[in-house]
Structure 1
Amino acid sequence: MRSWGDWEWCGKLGQGGFGEVVHWRNRRTGREIATKHIIDLKSLTADQQVKLSERWNKEFEWARRFQDFPHIVAGVILDQEDAGYLDYLNARHMAKLPVIILEYCNGGDVRRRLQSPENVNGLVEFEVREILGSLRKALHFLHTECRICHRDLKPDNIVIQRGADGKKVYKLTDFGLARLAPEKTMVQSVVGTRHYFAPEVVESGKYNSAVDYWSLGIIAYELATGELPFIPHQTPTTILINLLNKPLECIAISEDPESKGRFVNQFQLPQEHHLSRPFAEEFTKWLRLPLTTDYRQRGQRIAAADEVQSVSLVFAELDRLLAMKVLTIFAVNCSKRLEYVVSAEMTMQDLIRLIVGDTGMKGTELYCVLPTLHPHKQMKPHTKPLDLYVEEWSDTSRDSRKWAKRSNPPVMLYVFQGKEECDYSAPEPSLSVLARKFMSNKIASEERWLLKRVAKDLLHVLTKEQENHEMFLSGVNEHALSLEDEMVANPFIDKINEELLTTKFAHDQLMKLRASAQVIADDPEWQKLTQKYETIIEHTKKIKAHFEANLRGAQGMVKSTNQLLKDLGERDIFDATRFYKQYLGNGGIISPVELKKAATEFAKTRSQLQTKGEVKTLSKAIDKLHFYFFKSKEPVPVLLSTFIDIKREIFEMHLKMLSPISVAPPPLLQLSDAMDRLTMSSGIASSDPFDSLGTISVIDEAERINSMLLREMEVDPA
């Protein structure tokens, strides 16, 4: 079976105990499908063959019913479109059962996603949300619209359809064990996959559609942590006994590594995951609902405002959980990733209070930077925290980077400390208690599950520190870019140039008027005015030199950070890839000595980054440059006020020279008219603090600030 007509055999997608799934592509139309076949009947008894035939025919019928629902794999109907090809498939099929034809999903399945190195300790929060949301919709549709209980939910049966833009749609498949959901609990056969079916399936054999909620909870825990919750290395009997005795709020059970055969109920997620803090807290509360051993409580239903029928409490609380919007922030100076739930009612003052509380920085020192291409463009007085939330930026997985050929920013906002000498610190990484005991030889067990667990714990530390380094580097780069943009868009340069142009024109006109009037004597008033004019021109050159020097500095910083981002952005700083391959990927096992050696190497590399890293050195330089740019704007209101004063004196001298002309307007009107024509508004806030100063005092104040900046920046104004 390699090809028929335009249909080309592309290979096997999967194979189980009795069947296989094959991938086909139509050479003419480009259409792709998956066909499901039975390949073994001989190993089954006659009764088993009858049961298999019944289930197969039901799956065939249901697949053809699922045509328009986006989160269930649709059956493909070729009866009219290509009857010849359909006859070809069915003629070669065992047991005279129809071949099941399904839409082809090109992204593999969720099991494969969990087996990738980056997901050893669970998926990123975005993907966890997407999968759970898709499963919730698929199960609600099956339970309410089709009256079907799936009975075999597991990551292997959630397939991925990836679009041309890289976005993924998750679809439920494999209805071989599905059956019509009974209205009441019924005695049924033990079906499903070990670790995913509910306790009542084995304990009593009496169950209903609430078994799907249990499987949903198991999958959710596995998506978030990368492992099954209930001692998967133990025997089915041991697992069942512990499940039947677990407390209501218990979401996982582990074995005590220091006391074999002793099992510990867990009420929280392990720290090794990729969920945000607020989501993880609510997710943990939700897990208690589907992982309730009493199926009557697990299947509890409530009235829903937006549903025609009642909805399960499991789904209602999951909806609330998935609606949560978590704003991600990286505080560069203390190397902390911050995560806050944002709502329409939350204000920026509320957000700042939270940041201050978690970082220890003063609210007056906080400086915020939006990542490049943020849809909100820039922060304004009316900006709210919810405006800063970008849902698609929650997807920071390496898989998405690969397909999109670009990476989303690691966070939605960066915050910095705004002062001349900024403080820098970083929280110490936290290795699990289990791994620390293992390194110190306090645990003698060499069981496979334990060795794998401690290796995963250290890998999580390596991965998190790598992510932290990437966030720090991206934040420093964004700081340099925003500083450059701020300097380029600086309105003061244009205002200073405008004032300089009009003042110079007025002064030149006065000089021409004096020359035409053949005024030769340099009277004291003219000398005083000339001195003021030359002083302000010189001072203006210095201010402009500061701005230009700042801009050149910022452009240099952007070039440097761009290069660092290119050189270090994707570098495996802590050698996590090698560690994974050696102790997890290839079946290797780790010893206490090897774990301690790897931890020591990590600590050494991290210490070098903290003390001698190029990124931190560059960040400090950008901090200082930003501070100097901020300070260099302080003399501008003084300067603009001085321009107004000196232009007034120039026009007063004009009027004195023109006063003998009888046709001239009254002096006050002439002065007012001249000022209207030549004085340009600064467009900045009122310079009230300087209004009481005379011209000389204003120049002295500006010169003092300018001298300070010259000393600090060592800029040659020439």
Structure 2
Amino acid sequence: MPASLKNYGNWMILKKLGQGGFGEVLHWRNSQTGQEIATKRLKDGSSLSTDERCKLFDRWRQEYNWTRNLTEMPYIVRGIFLDDTDPAFMNYLNSNHGHDLPVIVMEYCNGGDVRRLLQQPENANGLSEFEVREILRSLRLALEYLHRRYSICHRDLKPDNIVLHRGDNGKRQYKLTDFGLARHNQNLKTLQQSVVGTIHYYAPEVVDTGRYNNKVDYWSMGIIAFELCCGRLPFIPHSSHFNIIVNVGKKPRECISISQDPDSTSESFIFHNELPKERHLTEVRAKKMTYWLRSALDAKYQTRGTFHNDDEKPVTDEVQTPAIFAELDKLLDCKVLTVFAACSYKCLAYEITPQLATISDLQHLIARDTGIAQESVVLLLPTGHPHKRITEQTRPADLFVDHWQDTSGRSRSSIPPVMIYVLDLNGTYNFPEPNLTPLMRLFMPPTAKRLETWMSKQLALEVNFLLSEEQRKFKMLLLSLRDHVLTLEDALLTFKPHIEALNAQKLKFMGAIDYFRALQNAGHEFFLKMYQNNAPGLSNWETKWVNFSSAWNVIRDSIDRIIARFESVLRDVRKHVDDKICDKMINQDLYKVEKFRATYLRSYELKVVEFREILIAFAEERNEALNNQSVKYLRESTFELYRQTIKISYTIQMIKNKWPDMENQFMALQLEVWKNAADNSRRASIAELNHTMGSLTLDDSRGEIPTFFDPQTPSLIDSALKLKDLLVKEMETD
């Protein structure tokens, strides 16, 4: 038996990282250099037969060699060489090992393994989409490297053998480890013969025939993928090994999971062709994952890893990249635009494709999925969105934010939960009742049916998803309201310099008109003399002047009213910003999710009576939250402020568009008065008036008014113009 290890020189034993039937892994740190390593050693093999000991020792030497050779792949735990840098320490490790076998020295990964990640309460229903992708990408790269570069079949893929390392920059990297059961083949098509691996993760042919090839790793990768997505194993994990093997053998290719029928009096099973709803994957990626899992979890190894193209022709491994990995790459690499429709309380997702080319295309899909009219779909960007503002030139691809894909627990507080919020232009909100699972509906009414242990665990997982998902959606509702208010404030502040410019030009124009009237009054007799032989001309000019004055009064009054409205709206918006109603509620555990997890996700002993009480309490809390008077007032008032902001935006732009016409009319009236003047003094007056007009041109150096939610506003302004004259009747003083 190997001797117990102690601290040696500068090397300190920090803790035991893992322990199996015959080995253990220790964590060491060099107190002088700070280097950290992991060592793997055999403990005792005395209980094994001679043949078993020979196999174990052969596998150990093979694992030792592979660990030291597979150092160029970043997604595989690499071996550490201390033979030259610290031979005394290596001699200490090996001399206390026994069996004439070397100790395996590896890099230390400081984040634990994926099994531990899955066991965290917040991951009871699976990991976030981002983490699922990161883990599968690392596993896929490591596995293809082993299969194609070294012809190695791992044969023991499971979450326990995928470890996490956090770099100094906080970046996570997942790595494959433990090659104790790996097997080398010169030809991966060659069938191997022996039963190895871990129950629930090894392929059916391992038990059926004991003869298999590298496709057993495809199966194990599929099991891992399902578990990452859903937080549980796919094939009746609570049942006997015999039941699992029998039912997996009977399942069709389309089936990706099997569950026991809770409503059956006998032991019967249900075959599922889709991922369960209790997971954190978007619908886009869940659909792709389902397609991929149907191949990875094909019980027939002959067709496992194959797919069919559009012509229904099988796509196999006879390509540069095996089909199982190529299809997984499509799943992992697609860009998904995440959306929360606050108006319908629904999470949506859309893949960025060439067909999704315009904002109108996106609005069409959202209208289809929410039931609101396309012209009423309002897109709101979360605070901090790099695109800043949606315009007519914006494409849906522009709204995708790559670094916002990580919505895992460590990032939820620093980035928005989605890339777009959706509001209804009519300001309406619809909160549909949450969907209860068949198991919930079975035990919600009084029933004499017994809640078995596996049912209790499944029920606890489903209730956990219901509570956490509803709490997540309520938080997104609050975030959408908060960001709506902040967006209004930002838009109003961009209007301010334009409004100030309008007011300044209004004052200049008023001065010019007063100056012209003063000249008229001063030269009244000459003015009449010019038209003494042209009474119709004088009448026509006076009519033009009256029309011009009337139009100018409308513009002048509109500017005064829009200034008043702007100040009123900005004041109300800032009041909402200062109230911080949403901030006060966002981090509250409204549905007592943490308490539920602490109570029921450790023991999974959820009783029927407790389940009903929890659901009734949740229904009351949900109703209270969604009908909270402060939140309801914020929803309604924010939409009214939104409408007023749009009107301000377009009214400013229309006044700016009208301004040149007012200038031209005024200039024409001046020229008509003075065009017949013959003496130089009168011509000097014309020059002086022209100089004055030059100062009246509206300053456009600030550019166009930034329109607010451009894709929606044309229809809004059309409606407003049909209802009232926007410049006159709609600009009443608040």
TM-score class, shorter: 0.7 to 0.9
Shift of 1:142: 0.2
Shift of 1:116: 0.6
Distance in 1, matches of 2:469 and 2:249, equals: 36
Determine if contact 1:400/1:407 at 8 Å carries over to the other structure.
Answer: yes
| Residues 1:215 and 1:511: Cα distance change in structure 2 (over 3 Å) | same
Residue among 565, 589, 592 paired with 1:575: 592
> 2:563 maps to which residue?
544
Say yes or no: does 1:415 pair with 2:429: no
Distance in 2, matches of 1:701 and 1:616, equals: 29
Indicate the larger mover: 234-243 or 490-499. 490-499
> 1:599 maps to which residue?
615
Letter in 1 for 2:53: Q
| Residues 1:521 and 1:569: Cα distance change in structure 2 (over 3 Å) | farther
| Residues 1:115 and 1:265: Cα distance change in structure 2 (over 3 Å) | same
> 2:21 maps to which residue?
17
Determine if contact 1:344/1:386 at 8 Å carries over to the other structure.
Answer: no
| Residues 1:630 and 1:664: Cα distance change in structure 2 (over 3 Å) | same
| Residues 1:150 and 1:187: Cα distance change in structure 2 (over 3 Å) | closer
Shift of 1:138: 0.7
Determine if contact 1:466/1:573 at 8 Å carries over to the other structure.
Answer: yes
Letter in 2 for 1:680: L
| Residues 1:487 and 1:53: Cα distance change in structure 2 (over 3 Å) | same
Shift of 1:570: 2.0
Letter in 2 for 1:77: F
Aligned to 1:502, the other structure's residue is in SS state helix
Aligned to 1:3, the other structure's residue is in SS state coil
Shift of 1:394: 2.3
Say yes or no: does 1:170 pair with 2:181: no
Shift of 1:540: 2.8
> 2:328 maps to which residue?
318
Aligned to 1:702, the other structure's residue is in SS state coil
Letter in 2 for 1:56: W
Aligned to 1:265, the other structure's residue is in SS state strand
> 2:339 maps to which residue?
329
> 1:62 maps to which residue?
66
TM alignment of 1:78-89, pairs within 5 A: 78-89=82-93
| Residues 1:441 and 1:314: Cα distance change in structure 2 (over 3 Å) | farther
Determine if contact 1:330/1:415 at 8 Å carries over to the other structure.
Answer: yes
> 1:680 maps to which residue?
698
TM alignment of 1:270-349, pairs within 5 A: 270-300=276-306, 310-348=320-358, 349=360
Residue among 212, 217, 228 paired with 1:223: 228
> 1:627 maps to which residue?
643
Determine if contact 2:226/2:232 at 8 Å carries over to the other structure.
Answer: yes
| Residues 1:299 and 1:326: Cα distance change in structure 2 (over 3 Å) | closer
Deviation sequence 1:313-370 (CA, Å, 0-9, x none): 3222212222222211111111111111121342222211111111222222222121
Determine if contact 1:149/1:179 at 8 Å carries over to the other structure.
Answer: yes
Indicate the larger mover: 113-122 or 436-445. 436-445
Aligned to 1:327, the other structure's residue is in SS state strand
Please, which runs of 5 or more residues in structure 1 have no aligned partner?
686-698
> 1:108 maps to which residue?
112
Deviation sequence 1:606-632 (CA, Å, 0-9, x none): 111222253332122110111122223
> 2:433 maps to which residue?
428
Determine if contact 1:543/1:632 at 8 Å carries over to the other structure.
Answer: yes
What is the TM-score of this pair, normalised by structure 1? 0.88
Determine if contact 1:301/1:311 at 8 Å carries over to the other structure.
Answer: no
Say yes or no: does 1:130 pair with 2:131: no
Residue among 254, 259, 270 paired with 2:265: 259
Shift of 1:267: 1.7
Distance in 1, matches of 2:552 and 2:321, equals: 80
Determine if contact 2:379/2:422 at 8 Å carries over to the other structure.
Answer: yes
Aligned to 2:619, the other structure's residue is in SS state helix
Aligned to 1:174, the other structure's residue is in SS state coil
| Residues 1:499 and 1:605: Cα distance change in structure 2 (over 3 Å) | same
Residue among 195, 198, 207 paired with 2:212: 207
Shift of 1:574: 0.5
Determine if contact 2:126/2:231 at 8 Å carries over to the other structure.
Answer: yes
Distance in 2, matches of 1:44 and 1:609, equals: 62
Determine if contact 1:410/1:471 at 8 Å carries over to the other structure.
Answer: yes
Distance in 1, matches of 2:574 and 2:164, equals: 44
Shift of 1:556: 2.0
Distance in 2, matches of 1:398 and 1:613, equals: 30
Determine if contact 2:163/2:176 at 8 Å carries over to the other structure.
Answer: yes
Distance in 1, matches of 2:658 and 2:115, equals: 72
| Residues 1:443 and 1:387: Cα distance change in structure 2 (over 3 Å) | farther
Determine if contact 1:142/1:149 at 8 Å carries over to the other structure.
Answer: yes
Distance in 1, matches of 2:148 and 2:649, equals: 66
Distance in 2, matches of 1:165 and 1:553, equals: 42
Determine if contact 2:674/2:686 at 8 Å carries over to the other structure.
Answer: no
| Residues 1:106 and 1:508: Cα distance change in structure 2 (over 3 Å) | farther
Shift of 1:65: 1.0
Say yes or no: does 1:556 pair with 2:575: yes
| Residues 1:535 and 1:337: Cα distance change in structure 2 (over 3 Å) | closer
Letter in 2 for 1:593: V
Count of aligned pairs: 686
Distance in 1, matches of 2:212 and 2:571, equals: 72
Determine if contact 2:307/2:314 at 8 Å carries over to the other structure.
Answer: no
Indicate the larger mover: 432-441 or 146-155. 432-441
| Residues 1:309 and 1:703: Cα distance change in structure 2 (over 3 Å) | closer
Distance in 2, matches of 1:6 and 1:511, equals: 97
Distance in 2, matches of 1:446 and 1:650, equals: 87
Say yes or no: does 1:399 pair with 2:399: no
Distance in 2, matches of 1:340 and 1:333, equals: 18
| Residues 1:247 and 1:635: Cα distance change in structure 2 (over 3 Å) | closer
Letter in 2 for 1:543: I
Aligned to 1:37, the other structure's residue is in SS state strand
Shift of 1:259: 2.8
Distance in 2, matches of 1:268 and 1:78, equals: 50
> 1:693 maps to which residue?
none
What is the TM-score of this pair, normalised by structure 2? 0.86
Letter in 2 for 1:229: P
> 2:389 maps to which residue?
378
Shift of 1:71: 0.8
Deviation sequence 1:219-238 (CA, Å, 0-9, x none): 11111111111111222222
Shift of 1:3: 2.8
> 2:478 maps to which residue?
473
Distance in 2, matches of 1:308 and 1:252, equals: 28
Distance in 1, matches of 2:113 and 2:453, equals: 26
> 1:691 maps to which residue?
none
Distance in 2, matches of 1:210 and 1:568, equals: 50
Determine if contact 2:456/2:604 at 8 Å carries over to the other structure.
Answer: no
Distance in 2, matches of 1:211 and 1:531, equals: 86
Determine if contact 1:153/1:212 at 8 Å carries over to the other structure.
Answer: yes
| Residues 1:261 and 1:495: Cα distance change in structure 2 (over 3 Å) | same
Determine if contact 1:108/1:160 at 8 Å carries over to the other structure.
Answer: yes
Distance in 2, matches of 1:521 and 1:635, equals: 41
Determine if contact 1:301/1:312 at 8 Å carries over to the other structure.
Answer: no
Letter in 2 for 1:225: C
Letter in 2 for 1:609: A
Shift of 1:518: 9.9
Distance in 2, matches of 1:37 and 1:664, equals: 109
> 1:662 maps to which residue?
680
Indicate the larger mover: 640-649 or 205-214. 640-649
Determine if contact 1:510/1:650 at 8 Å carries over to the other structure.
Answer: no
Determine if contact 1:498/1:680 at 8 Å carries over to the other structure.
Answer: no
Shift of 1:187: 4.5
Shift of 1:567: 2.1
